[in-house]
């Protein structure tokens, strides 16, 4: 493991100016390696979402260094279109609610990402079917999103996050709407995918049931991170 998938050094983010300024991140340090699933745990207002947005290249940090696969992001030479391409090709997202596109069927929800990256439609759909099979929802390939159960929808959203084989996946409370068994299944699935595709996965969570499954956990409080070694069964 020569190059970390994500490396953050002394990252800060300040909202507003003067007396009304709020420091959401006050010096975050984080290193995540390919194939690793890391938990990010913290109470509401601790800066989790801000950190996720910085990692997701949708907001710019105020200072500090952020590297994805050894490449520095937000060093004043990135344009909006570059960031969009970065998100499309190198970052996968899994949300608390699956947020699948309701007017596309299951296959096209996944195939859309490779298509946006310029992959021909037929190849993109083949890739989508492979991922659906890998996540045990291949039989729902032609179903509409509204016909899926909550667990199936979350599996499809994981497949979507993996569609362009990104080196990094950001999962924002992916188990929140699921019961214990399904939540553990999802985390297990994320671990398998991380190992299979050598993807670094950060899972933001409050879920006490799944926290013990991470090998490493970053606690975030008042805009600062603290690393803790977890019991880790997933990675």
Partner 1 sequence: MINLAGRDILHNWGKFVMTGVGLGLLIGVTLTMAGVYRGMVDDAQALIANSGADLWVVQQDTLGPYAEPSAIHDDVARDLLLQPGVMATGNVAYLTMQIQHAEQEVRIMLVGIEADKPGTPAYLISGRPITQSHYEALADIKSGLNLGERIRIRRHEYTVVGLTRRMVSSSGDPMIFVPIKDAQEVQFLKDNDALLNERARTTAPSRLPGAISPATSQMVNAVLVQLKPGFLDEEVAASIRRWKHLQSYTRAQMEEILVARLIATSAKQIFMFLVILSIVSAAIVAFIIYTMTMNKIREIAVLKLIGAGNRIISLMILQQALGLGLIGFVVGKTAATFWAPLFPKYVLLIPGDALRGFFLVMVMCALASSFAIRAALRVDPASAIGG
CB environment 132-141: b (16+ within 10 A), e (fewer): bebbebbebb
Among 38, 52, 128, 186, indicate the residue that binds partner 1 (CB under 8 A).
52
* 112 interacts with partner 1 by CB under 8 A: yes
* 187 interacts with partner 1 by CB under 8 A: no
Which of 140/160 has CB closer to partner 1?
160
Tell me how far apart the alpha carbons of residues 226 and 136 are, in angstroms, rounded to a whole number: 36
Tell me how far apart the alpha carbons of residues 96 and 103 are, in angstroms, rounded to a whole number: 20
Interface size with partner 1, residues (CB under 8 A): 35
* 111 interacts with partner 1 by CB under 8 A: yes
* 48 interacts with partner 1 by CB under 8 A: yes
Among 14, 53, 188, 224, indicate the residue that binds partner 1 (CB under 8 A).
53
For residues 137 and 155, the answer to whether their CB atoms sit within 8 Å is yes
* 99 interacts with partner 1 by CB under 8 A: yes
Which tokens in the block code for residue 230? 């977890």
* 103 interacts with partner 1 by CB under 8 A: yes
Query: Which residues are CB-contacts of 124 (< 8 A; sequence separation ≥ 6)?
Result: 111, 112, 113, 114, 115, 163
* 117 interacts with partner 1 by CB under 8 A: yes
Tell me how far apart the alpha carbons of residues 100 and 227 are, in angstroms, rounded to a whole number: 33
SS3 73: strand
* 173 interacts with partner 1 by CB under 8 A: yes
Among 14, 87, 188, 206, indicate the residue that binds partner 1 (CB under 8 A).
87
Which of 37/110 has CB closer to partner 1?
110
Beta bridge partners of 68: 6, 71
Which tokens in the block code for residue 56? 């997701």
Residues forming the site for partner 1 (CB under 8 A): 48-50, 52-53, 56, 58-59, 81, 84-85, 87-89, 93, 95-96, 99, 101-104, 108, 111-113, 115-117, 121, 144, 160, 170, 172-173
């Amino acid at each position: 493991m020569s190059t970390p998938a994500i490396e953050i050094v002394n990252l800060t983010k300040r909202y507003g100016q003067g007396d009304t300024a709020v420091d959401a991140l006050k010096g975050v340090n984080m290193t995540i390696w390919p194939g690793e699933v890391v938990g990010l745990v913290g109470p509401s207002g601790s800066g989790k979402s801000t950190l996720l947005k910085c990692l997701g290249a949708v907001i710019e940090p105020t200072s500090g260094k952020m590297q994805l696969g050894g490449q520095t992001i937000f060093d004043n030479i990135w344009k909006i279109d570059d960031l969009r391409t970065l998100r499309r090709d190198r970052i996968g997202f899994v949300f608390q609610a699956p947020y699948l596109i309701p007017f596309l069927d299951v296959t096209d929800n996944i195939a859309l990402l490779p298509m946006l990256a310029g992959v021909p439609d037929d190849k993109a759909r083949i890739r989508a079917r492979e991922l659906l099979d890998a996540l045990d929802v291949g039989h729902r390939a032609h179903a509409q999103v509204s016909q899926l159960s909550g667990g199936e929808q979350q599996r499809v959203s994981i497949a979507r996050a993996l569609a362009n084989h990104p080196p990094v996946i950001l999962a924002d409370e992916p188990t929140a709407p699921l019961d214990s068994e399904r939540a553990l299944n999802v985390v297990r699935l994320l671990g398998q995918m991380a190992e299979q595709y050598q993807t670094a996965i950060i899972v933001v969570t409050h879920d006490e049931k799944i926290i013990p499954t991470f090998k490493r956990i970053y606690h975030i409080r008042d805009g600062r991170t603290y690393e803790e070694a977890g019991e880790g069964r997933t990675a």
